[in-house]
């Protein structure tokens, strides 16, 4: 799995502070911005966070490149709706000999891994076989319609993999570019950094949060699962590891010692 921070709003914390202060000021945003020192920006952003005032952080976006994840993971990612996504297409990209993601629990068990690998190999064989069969049918039909052999084969390949992809597994590796504003990211981290989240998307979320904290430490100072800032909302389904989670996500907080 690989997560890269491709871009973010320049000077994100100053943008948030300027937007928030504008709501309570009679002067323009340029003057407000000029008046604030870096220390004042950080102090005001921290104050906003303590109030739970999140609407100003919507003005800041972060764009991530995510590779080496499964389709099962990307299906979970795109459920977060206030975001933009661009994903590798199985309609236009041939998946012969596709890479796939092996869950750690499967990799740790020799028998499970053998069965898993056999299933991936069978899916790859079926994909290739279906592609070849459909390619021949579509090429013949396209040539009968007047296309040259070369043009017919090129078009037929695209049409063939549209249907061959139906046998590809959730484990199939994919790549995706994702853009979220900070408010959406904070909600994403609350859900996906939680120990009850699926292991793969939790790994993605943890790496995204690490990169966000490097770029805007004050904005993301309290980011993480809900238990790092208060009681666990999961009730009887709680993992029971609130102390460990606070130590992991907010090691500077005295709460992590409680």
DSSP string, 136-193: HHHHHHHHHTT--HHHHHHHHHHHHHHHHGGG--TTBEEEEEEEEEHHHHHHHHHHHS
Q: Which pLDDT value is given to residue 254? A: 60
Average pLDDT over residues 174-178: 98
Q: Which pLDDT value is given to residue 91? A: 94
Residues designated as active site: 192
- What's phi and psi for 41, nearest 5 deg? -60, -50
pLDDT at 167 over 80: yes
2 DSSP 8-state letter: E
Average pLDDT over residues 2-24: 94
Nearest-5° angle of CA 217, CA 223, CA 226? 165
pLDDT at 258 over 50: no
Q: Are 215 and 239 in contact (CB under 8 A)?
A: no
Average pLDDT over residues 198-212: 98
Q: Which pLDDT value is given to residue 256? A: 47
Q: Which pLDDT value is given to residue 75? A: 97
Average pLDDT over residues 219-235: 93
Q: Which is more confident, 170 or 28?
A: 170
Q: Quick check: helix, strand or coil at residue 127?
A: helix
pLDDT at 40 over 60: yes
Q: What whole-number percentage of the chain has pLDDT above 70?
A: 98
Q: Which long-range contacts (CB under 8 A, 24 or more apart) does 152-161 make?
A: 157/94, 157/131, 158/91, 158/92, 159/134, 160/130, 160/131, 160/132, 160/134, 160/135, 161/90, 161/91, 161/94, 161/95, 161/131
Q: Which is more confident, 34 or 191?
A: 191
pLDDT at 257 over 70: no
């Amino acid at each position: 799995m690989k997560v890269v921070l491709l871009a973010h709003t320049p000077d994100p914390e100053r943008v948030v502070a300027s937007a928030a202060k504008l709501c309570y000021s009679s002067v323009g945003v340029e003057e407000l911005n000029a008046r604030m020192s870096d220390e004042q920006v950080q102090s005001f952003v921290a104050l906003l966070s303590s109030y739970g005032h999140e609407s100003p952080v919507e003005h800041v976006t972060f764009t991530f490149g995510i590779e080496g994840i499964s389709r099962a993971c990307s299906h979970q990612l795109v459920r977060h709706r206030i975001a933009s996504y661009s994903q590798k297409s199985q309609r236009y990209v041939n998946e012969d000999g596709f890479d796939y993601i092996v869950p750690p629990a499967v990799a740790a068990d020799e028998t499970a891994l053998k069965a898993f690998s056999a299933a991936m190999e069978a899916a790859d064989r079926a994909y290739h076989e279906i592609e070849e069969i459909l390619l021949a049918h579509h090429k013949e039909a396209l040539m009968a319609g007047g296309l040259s052999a070369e043009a017919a084969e090129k078009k037929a390949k695209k049409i063939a993999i549209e249907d061959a992809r139906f046998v590809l597994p959730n484990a199939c590796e994919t790549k995706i570019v994702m853009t979220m504003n900070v408010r959406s990211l904070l909600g994403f981290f609350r859900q996906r950094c939680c120990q009850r989240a699926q292991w793969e998307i939790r790994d993605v979320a943890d790496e995204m949060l690490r990169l966000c904290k490097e770029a805007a430490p004050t904005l993301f100072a309290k980011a993480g699962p809900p238990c790092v800032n208060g009681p666990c909302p999961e009730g009887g389904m709680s993992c029971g590891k609130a102390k460990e989670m606070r130590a992991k996500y907010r090691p500077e907080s005295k709460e992590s010692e409680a």
